[in-house]
Each structure stands twice: as C-alpha cells, then as structure tokens.
C-alpha cells in the first residue's frame, strides 16, 4: 500500500492539485482584499449608512419584538435574517466582477503572446521550384534539392 501511495504522489497529479489549491487560496485572498478594501468602501458611500446585516423579519412576535438581530438571537426569537444574504449577494457580484476583469486581462495578454508566436514564419519557399517547405527542412520535398549544399 505504501508503494502504491508513493507512486500516486510521484505521478504529479496530487502535487498539481496541491499547487492549484494553494495558488487558488492565495488568489482568493487577493480578490477578497480587493473587494473589501477597494470596491466595498465606494459602494458603502453610494448606498449611504445602510447596513443590510441588521435587516430581519421576526417570525414569532409572541416573545416580544427585538431591537436588533443580536437581541433576537440572544432572546432565542426566530427570525429570517435576510440582510446578511443581501450583503453576501453584493459581495459575490463584486468578486465575480473582479474575476471577470482579471480573466479578461489575462486572456488579452495571452492572445497577444499567441499572436506574436503565430506571426513567426514556420515555412519558407524553395528558391528552385517555389514550393512551400518547413523552415527547418534541409531538403525540398518537391525538387529534392539539398539546402546544405546550396550557397547563399
């Protein structure tokens, strides 16, 4: 069983997965930091002093009306705390927006790199028969001229 486990680890799949999880966690911290530190403050200014986390609906009014969500929880009054859900939806949308812009920027960089690689020639023209041959070819496939013997 130890040998089988060692082969599993040595294959690289587990290592690739571990690296992906670690990088994903680090990237998640960056995105969360950006959303909470950069995007949420302007949203808070736009929305004003609205605090969604304190929004709730009391389900059982027989135990009295609580002054806050914390008061309701302390007294054991059943409530629907929909305010936190609204906060979580806003945070999710902002994180999705940040990820959209990051992926968009990476795709643009990647496509520029690919375009530069695609622009490099991979073929040449035989000077004798004018057929197209691979750039690294040493002999023409059509007229069989040997390019190592041809000068200039």
Domain regions of the chain by residue span: 1-50, 51-120, 122-152
Q: Interhelix angle for 2-10 vs 13-34, to 10°?
A: 60
> For residue range 6-60, what is the model confidence (pLDDT) as tens digits?
777 777 677 778 888 898 888 888 888 888 888 878 877 887 766 678 888 988 8
Rounded distance, CA 80 to CA 65, Å?
13
Rounded distance, CA 103 to CA 87, Å?
24
Higher pLDDT pick, 70 / 11? 70
User: Which residue from 51, 59, 58 is spatially nearest to 84, judged by alpha carbons?
Assistant: 51
Higher pLDDT pick, 101 / 39? 101
Long-range CB pairs of 29-32 (<8 Å, 24+ gap) are 31/95, 31/98, 31/99, 31/102, 32/95
Count of Cβ atoms closer than 10 Å to residue 31 Cβ: 15
116: confidence class by pLDDT, cuts 50, 70, 90: low
**Backbone Cα Rg of the chain:** 32
- Write the CB contacts of 43 (distance below 8 Å, at least 6 apart in sequence): 90, 94
4: confidence class by pLDDT, cuts 50, 70, 90: confident
């Amino acid at each position: 069983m130890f040998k089988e486990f060692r082969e599993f680890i040595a294959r690289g799949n587990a290592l690739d997965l571990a690296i992906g999880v670690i990088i994903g966690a680090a990237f998640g911290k960056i995105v969360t930091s950006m959303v909470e530190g950069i995007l949420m403050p302007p949203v808070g200014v736009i929305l004003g002093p609205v605090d969604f986390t304190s929004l709730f609906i009391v389900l059982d009014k027989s135990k009295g009306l609580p002054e806050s969500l914390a008061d309701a929880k302390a007294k054991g009054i059943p409530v629907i705390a929909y305010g936190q859900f609204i906060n979580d939806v806003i945070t999710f949308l902002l994180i999705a927006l940040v990820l959209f812009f990051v992926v968009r920027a990476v795709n643009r960089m990647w496509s520029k790199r690919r375009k530069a690689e695609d622009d490099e020639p991979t073929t040449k023209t035989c000077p004798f028969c004018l057929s197209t041959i691979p750039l690294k070819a040493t002999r023409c496939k059509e007229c069989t001229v040997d390019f190592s013997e041809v000068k200039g």
